[in-house]
């Protein structure tokens, strides 16, 4: 149990695990950790066990550490606990939040200053009225009551109501411009703002990726509308459309199936809500969600075409390959993979990765159910499509396959399938 951990304990970390404390890595095998909740870094961070060059390394660059509140997305490792509870980096942030004192806004400071000035002015005027009255022979009691009345009259009793109404009107105007104000004093501060510097991950974005575009040989498909109905962390299985692929070119289904099979992420069901949570690398989770939207579940696919071998993702290669054994009876293949029966072999390998590293390994392209040579014109078209997606702020992955007679993973002479763009 995480509650029983103390500094010095050794913890095994595997994909899908939440890091239970701050710890120093002792072993790392392709270990990557999602640290968005702590540092705001949207991409999983690759970890190692090497010592840091200096002591004052920023938190996000401490690659030999794992921190409470982060999640292992890939690989495995062992680590030694260094801090628990409020002594962790996340605990220190919580302590700072508890000790933060909220100061007054500029408007509040000005109103406070005006109030003090009116109080002083009222007392001075009341004193003058009383002194002048006494010099003119008026009674002390009568002049005291007059002085108090003057002092009370100086107080602008309608000012708080006027300020509140003014701020409320300002909040309504900002709401029409899609700016929601929770506290009225913030209207005055926000009204003076010309530039907003904000953390992106978890603030402007939800820290999850969604496949929005699939570009395969000769076909282009936008999934943005579908993706909005099925966010990555709120996918409901009954919403999957089993008939979607029937109306699409076979290459679309092949690309979605390739993304689901060449994948180490998983969709974990929540029995209470019936929704699925993507666990693992956000990019791989987005591919699983896209496939699930058309009723392609990774586990169901692997039951039919089990994984026989793999080449894990490597930061230098920037790609991953899995080899799958095809069934002897090809009629059992799902619709998305039936196009493979045009040229049957015992095994098929799927590769996904960065387009600039994947495209040079491809010699052919899958087009309308047939394999044709990947000539220069097709290469240029793929590169242009890749650049256009990247310019639109998408992360682009290339997908390819290789028909082979054995289970040895080989990343050469590949057949290019298509591109997936995600945001």
pLDDT in tens, the chain (423 residues): 778 899 999 999 988 788 999 999 999 988 889 888 888 777 789 899 999 888 888 888 899 999 998 988 888 899 999 999 999 999 998 888 887 777 777 777 888 888 888 888 888 888 888 888 888 888 888 888 888 888 888 778 788 888 888 888 888 888 888 888 888 878 877 777 888 887 666 666 666 778 888 888 767 777 754 433 333 333 333 345 566 676 777 888 889 999 999 998 888 776 666 667 777 788 888 899 888 888 888 888 999 999 999 988 877 788 999 999 998 887 778 877 887 876 678 899 999 999 999 999 999 998 877 889 999 999 999 999 999 989 988 889 999 999 998 888 888 999 999 999 988
Catalytic annotation, residues: 199
416, β-bridge pairs: 365, 400
Residue 79, helix vs strand vs coil: strand
Q: Provide Rg for the chain, Cα atoms.
A: 32
What is the rounded distance in angstroms from the CA atom of residue 362 to the CA atom of residue 382?
12
Other CB atoms within 10 A of residue 225 CB:
8
**Residues 45, 77 contacting (CB under 8 angstroms):** no
CATH 3.40.1110.10 applies to domain 208-422:
yes
**Residues 344, 311 contacting (CB under 8 angstroms):** no
DSSP state of 262: S
In this chain, the answer to whether the domains covering 2-99 and 208-422 adopt an identical fold is: no
**Residues 10, 80 contacting (CB under 8 angstroms):** yes
**Residues 326, 406 contacting (CB under 8 angstroms):** no
What is the rounded distance in angstroms from the CA atom of residue 234 to the CA atom of residue 268?
11
Other CB atoms within 10 A of residue 390 CB:
13
Q: What is the pTM of this model?
A: 0.65
309, β-bridge pairs: 323
Bridge-based pairing of strands 370-373 and 395-404 is unpaired
Quick one: fold of 2-99? Answer: 2.70.150
The residue ranges of every structural domain in the chain are 2-99, 106-191, 208-422
Place of tokens 């993979």: 337
């Amino acid at each position: 149990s995480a509650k029983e951990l103390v500094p010095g304990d050794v913890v095994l970390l595997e994909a899908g695990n939440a890091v239970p404390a701050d710890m120093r890595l002792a072993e790392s095998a392709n270990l990557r950790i999602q640290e968005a909740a702590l540092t705001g870094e949207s991409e999983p961070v690759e970890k190692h066990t090497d010592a840091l060059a200096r002591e004052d390394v920023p938190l996000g660059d401490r690659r030999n550490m794992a921190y409470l509140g982060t999640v292992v997305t890939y690989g495995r490792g062992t680590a030694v606990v260094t801090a628990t509870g409020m002594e962790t980096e996340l605990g220190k942030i919580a302590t700072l939040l508890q000790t933060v004192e909220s100061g007054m806004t500029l408007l509040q400071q000005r109103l406070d200053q005006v109030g003090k000035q009116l109080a002083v002015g009222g007392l001075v005027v009341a004193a003058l009225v009383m002194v002048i009255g006494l010099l003119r022979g008026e009674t002390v009691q009568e002049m005291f009551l007059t002085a108090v009345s003057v002092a009370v009259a100086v107080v602008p009793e309608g000012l708080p109501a006027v300020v509140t109404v003014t701020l409320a009107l300002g909040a309504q105007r900002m709401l029409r411009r899609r700016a929601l104000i929770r506290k009225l004093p913030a209207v005055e501060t926000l009204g003076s703002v010309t530039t907003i510097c904000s953390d992106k991950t978890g603030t402007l974005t939800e820290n999850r990726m969604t496949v929005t575009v699939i570009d395969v040989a000769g076909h282009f498909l936008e999934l943005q509308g579908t993706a909005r109905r099925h966010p990555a962390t709120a996918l409901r299985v009954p919403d999957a459309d089993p008939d979607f692929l029937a109306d699409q070119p076979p290459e679309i289904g092949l690309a979605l199936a390739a993304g689901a099979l060449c994948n180490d992420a998983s969709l974990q069901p929540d029995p209470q809500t019936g929704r699925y949570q993507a666990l693992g690398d956000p990019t791989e989770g987005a591919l699983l969600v896209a496939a699930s939207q058309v009723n392609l579940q990774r586990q169901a696919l692997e039951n039919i075409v089990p994984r026989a071998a793999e080449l894990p993702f490597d930061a230098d290669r920037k790609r991953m390959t899995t080899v799958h054994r095809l069934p002897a009876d090809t009629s059992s293949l799902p619709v998305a993979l039936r196009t493979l029966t045009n040229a049957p072999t015992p095994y098929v390998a799927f590769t996904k990765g960065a387009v600039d590293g994947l495209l040079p390994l491809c010699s052919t392209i899958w087009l309308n159910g047939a394999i044709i040579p990947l000539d220069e014109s097709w290469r240029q078209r793929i590169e242009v499509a890749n650049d256009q997606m990247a310019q639109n702020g998408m992360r682009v992955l290339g997908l390819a396959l290789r028909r082979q007679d054995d289970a040895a993973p080989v990343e050469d002479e590949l057949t290019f399938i298509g591109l997936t763009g995600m945001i």
